Structure 1
Amino acid sequence: MVSERGLQVLRAIVQDYVDTHEPVGSKAIVERHAFGVSAATIRNDMALLEDEELIAAPHTSSGRVPTDKGYRVFVDHLAELRPLNTAQRSAIASFLDGPGDLDDALSRTVRALTQLTGQVAIVQYPSFARATVSHVELVQLGGGRMLVIVVTDTGRVSQRIAIVRDDFDDADLAVMRAELGALLVGKPVREGLQKIADHLAAPSAPESSRTSATAAIVRVVAEELEEFRQDRLVLAGAANLARRESDFRGSIYPLLEAIEEQVTLLKLMSEMVADEHGLAASIGRENDAFGLGEASIVASDYDATGSRARVGVLGPTRMDYPTNLAAVRAVARYLTRLLEEDESSR
C-alpha cells in the first residue's frame, strides 16, 4: 500500500521524468519539490515505490523512472486535470469554428488535437447504423455523370458520383428523385440497405435509360450506406512518432502499422473503460493484447446527436498525461457542442 507521501513522490518522479527525460534522483526531488523532508527520507519512499514496481532503475543510474504500473497509479490518482490556457482554448476554437459537414469537423478536430499535444490524434466516427436517411439529392454534372448526395438525421453527408451514361431533363430527374426518396427517406440505414437489396432483386420494368440510371444510382447509395455502418477513424500527426522515437524501447513499426490498418486502434478505442467523466487511459503493457505495449492512449467521449464516440491521442508512455487528458476532454466538449449547434440549425 502506497502512502500519501509516496504518491506525492511518485507524482514528482513522473512530472520530472516527463519534463527532462532523465532518471530522477532523491536529491533532485528535494531541490525541485517542497516536501520538507531530507533526501534520505525521499530515498526510503523511493525504495518502497520500487518494491511496489511503480518505479525502476534504468541501467546503473542512481535515478529512477516510472514503470507502466507507476504511470497507471499516477493517472488513477490525478486530483484534477491541468486546465488549458487561453492560447490553447483559442487554438481549439480557431480550428473547429466555421461551417462544414461532419467529415470536415472531424478532420479539423484531429489537426487541432495533434497541434495541442504533439501526439498522434485519433477520432472515431460515431456509428451511423441507427441513423435515418433524411434527404437524397441528385445533381446532374453532364457527360453521363450524376452527383449523388445522401444526408442522415445525424448530420452525416456523403457525396459520390454515379456513371449513368446519359443526361436527363428536369422531368426525368424529378421522377428519379421521387423514386429514391420513396425508397430511402425516413428509413434507418439498416432498413434502407434492405430496401435497396429488395429493389435490385425485384423484377424490373422494361429497361430504359432512366431505369438503368436509377439502378446505377441505387448501387452507389448502397455502397455509401454500407460505409455508414462501418466504424472508422480519422488520424493526424503520425510523424510525431518518428520525432519521439527515442521514447520507445523498441520499434515504432507496430504503431505505424496499427495507424495504417486502423482495425487494432478501433478495437482498442472501443474497449477502453471510461470513468464517470468520460475519460479513459490505456497505458503501456495494458495494450499488449493489441500489439501496442510500447504506447499509451488517452481518450474522451464525445456526443454526435445521440451517438457516442471517442477522441484521443496516441503516444509513448512518457507523455504529459494531465495535459493530454485535459486536451482531449476540451476538444471532445467543443466537438459535442459544435455538432449540437449544427443539428439545431438544420
Structure 2
Amino acid sequence: MTQSRRMLVLRAVVEDYIRSQEPVGSTSLTKAHDLGVSSATVRNDMAALEDEGYLIQPHTSAGRIPTEKGYRYFVDRLATVMPLSPAQRNGIATFLSGSVSLQDTLQRAARLLSQITGQVAVVASPALSKATLRHVEIVPVGASVLLAVVITDTGRVAQHTLAVHPMPSADDLSRFCDVVNRQCSGLSFTAASERLRSLSADPAWRTSSSVSESLASAFATMADDERAGEMYVAGASKLAHQRTAADLAPLFDALEEQVVIMRLMSTLSEEPGPDGVGVAIGSETHTPGLMHASVVTSGYGRTAAADAETAGRTDAVDSSGSAGADVDGADAAVPSGFADDGPQTAGEPVAFVGSIGPTHMDYAATIAAVRAVARYLTASLVADGGPIGD
C-alpha cells in the first residue's frame, strides 16, 4: 500500500462526499474513480485513512466521510482548475459595474458571491488606517467650527468637526485647503498628520495654524482606526436549506458577532495560502458557532492579491463552471487589471471578501468565486486612481 495511492483515495472520498453528502463506500468509490486497484484494496486504504484521522465512519455499516484533517489535506492540495472565461468575468463586471458608490458596490459584491456559492457572503469596507488621503474639503459650520470632509483612495468618506480659534478668513481657508491637497494627497494618514504639524509651525501659515493642528489630530485618529467601516452580509437564509436546526443557532449567533467574524476573516486575508486565499475549517476558526463550518476569504484593494503565477494556481472555476456562472447581461467592460491569469500586486489587503458555508462545501468553486470577486474589487479600486463607483 503506497502513501500516494492512499491519498488519491482520500481525495476521491472528499470529492464524492462534497458532491453527494452521503457516506462513501469502497465499492462506489471504485466504480466512480479509476484507482487501478480492487474494492478490497480501497477498503483497506480507507481503514488506514480512518486510523490516521483523515476519515471517520459515522455508522458501523456506513461508508466514510472526511474529517477536518481530511478536508485540510484536500484543500492544501487542490489541483489547478479552469480559469474564468471572458464571459464569466464580464458577468461579474456587469453585476457590479452599475454601482453608484463604494457602499453599493460592496453590497452588490456580497449578494453576487452569495448567489454564486449558495452560502453566506461577507464583504468588509476598507479600514481608514489602511487608506491614503485622496482629497479633503473644509467648510465653516459655525462661528469657530469647521467640517472636514475626507475622501480616501479606497472610496471611504469620513467627516470630522474641527474646533478652531481664531477662525481663518475664507481666502486663507481656501488657500490652506489647496496646499493640504497638493502636499498630502496620496499620503497615509500618519504621514499626512506629520506633514500638517510641520505646516502649522511655518510662520507663513500662522493664520491657519489652528486649522492645521486640528486637522492633523483628525488624520492621526484616522490612522489609528483599525476597524473596517462596515460589514455587508448576504445569503444567511441559504444555509437554512443546508444545515440542521441544531447547527443553525450557533452559526447565526456567530454571524451576529461581527467583530469576531471581522477578526477571523481579516487574519485569513492577511495570511493567505499560496493561492492568495485563506481557508479555515471547523475548529481552525476558533469560533464556537463555526465548528461545523468553513470560511474562505481573500483580501482586496490596491495591494491585496498575490501573484497568480507564483501561486501556481489561477482564479478559476471547477470544470462544471459552477463558480463562474454567468450573470445576466455579461456585456460590460471588465475593469483594467481584472484578470485571472496574470500577476497582481502583492502586499497587505485593505479589506476582505469571503464566504462561510458547511465543511462539505465545494472548496474549488468557493475559492474561485471569492478570488474572482476580490480581484474585481481590487481592479475597481485602482482603476484611474479613484474609488469604486466613480
Flag the 1:41–1:2 CA change in 2: closer, same or farther, 3 A.
closer
Residue type matched to 1:266 in 2?
M
Which residue in 1 is equivalent to 2:353? 311
Residue type matched to 1:267 in 2?
R
Residue type matched to 1:334 in 2?
Y
2:262 to 255, 260, 266: 266
Confirm or deny: 8 A CA contact 2:127 2:227 kept in the other structure: yes
1:332 aligns with 2:374: yes
Which residue in 2 is equivalent to 1:246? 243
Q: Secondary structure at the match of 2:274?
A: coil
Residue type matched to 1:329 in 2?
R
Residue type matched to 2:76 in 1?
D
Q: Give the unaligned 5+ runs of structure 1.
A: 163-170, 198-213
Which residue in 1 is equivalent to 2:154? 155
Q: Determine the C-alpha separation between the residues in 2 that align with 1:247 and 1:326.
A: 27
Flag the 1:255–1:232 CA change in 2: closer, same or farther, 3 A.
farther
Matches within 5 A, 1:32-111: 32-84=32-84, 88-98=88-98, 100-111=100-111
Confirm or deny: 8 A CA contact 1:298 1:312 kept in the other structure: yes
Residue type matched to 1:324 in 2?
T
Q: Determine the C-alpha separation between the residues in 2 that align with 1:110 and 1:34.
A: 39
Confirm or deny: 8 A CA contact 1:82 1:322 kept in the other structure: no
Deviates more, 1:176-185 or 1:10-19: 176-185
Residue type matched to 1:108 in 2?
R
Q: Determine the C-alpha separation between the residues in 2 that align with 1:270 and 1:179.
A: 37
Confirm or deny: 8 A CA contact 2:188 2:223 kept in the other structure: no
Q: Determine the C-alpha separation between the residues in 2 that align with 1:127 and 1:2.
A: 49
- Taking structure 2 as the reference length, the TM-score comes to 0.67
Q: Secondary structure at the match of 2:128?
A: coil
Residue type matched to 2:254 in 1?
A
Residue type matched to 1:237 in 2?
A
Shift of 1:190: 4.3
Shift of 1:278: 1.4
Flag the 1:50–1:87 CA change in 2: closer, same or farther, 3 A.
farther
Which residue in 2 is equivalent to 1:19? 19
Q: Secondary structure at the match of 2:74?
A: helix
Q: Give the unaligned 5+ runs of structure 2.
A: 162-167, 198-210, 304-346
Q: Determine the C-alpha separation between the residues in 2 that align with 1:247 and 1:30.
A: 31
Q: Secondary structure at the match of 1:304?
A: coil
Confirm or deny: 8 A CA contact 1:247 1:316 kept in the other structure: no
Flag the 1:240–1:227 CA change in 2: closer, same or farther, 3 A.
farther
Coordinate RMSD, CA, aligned = 4.3
Shift of 1:86: 5.9
Task: Provide Cα deviations, 1:105-161, integer angstroms capped at 9, x if missing partner.
Answer: 3223222211111111123333432544332236899xxxx9964212x23242669
Q: Determine the C-alpha separation between the residues in 2 that align with 1:343 and 1:135.
A: 12
Deviates more, 1:5-14 or 1:296-305: 296-305
Residue type matched to 1:315 in 2?
G
Residue type matched to 2:103 in 1?
D
Shift of 1:236: 2.8
Confirm or deny: 8 A CA contact 2:231 2:258 kept in the other structure: no
Task: Provide Cα deviations, 1:45-85, integer angstroms capped at 9, x if missing partner.
Answer: 11111111111111344211111111001111212235445
Q: Secondary structure at the match of 1:236?
A: strand
**Alignment length (residue pairs):** 325
Q: Determine the C-alpha separation between the residues in 1 that align with 2:80 and 2:284.
A: 23
Task: Provide Cα deviations, 1:19-44, integer angstroms capped at 9, x if missing partner.
Answer: 11211111111222222322212111
Confirm or deny: 8 A CA contact 2:193 2:220 kept in the other structure: no
Which residue in 1 is equivalent to 2:8? 8
Shift of 1:316: 1.1
Residue type matched to 1:316 in 2?
P
Question: What percent of counterpart residues are identical?
Answer: 40
Q: Secondary structure at the match of 1:256?
A: helix
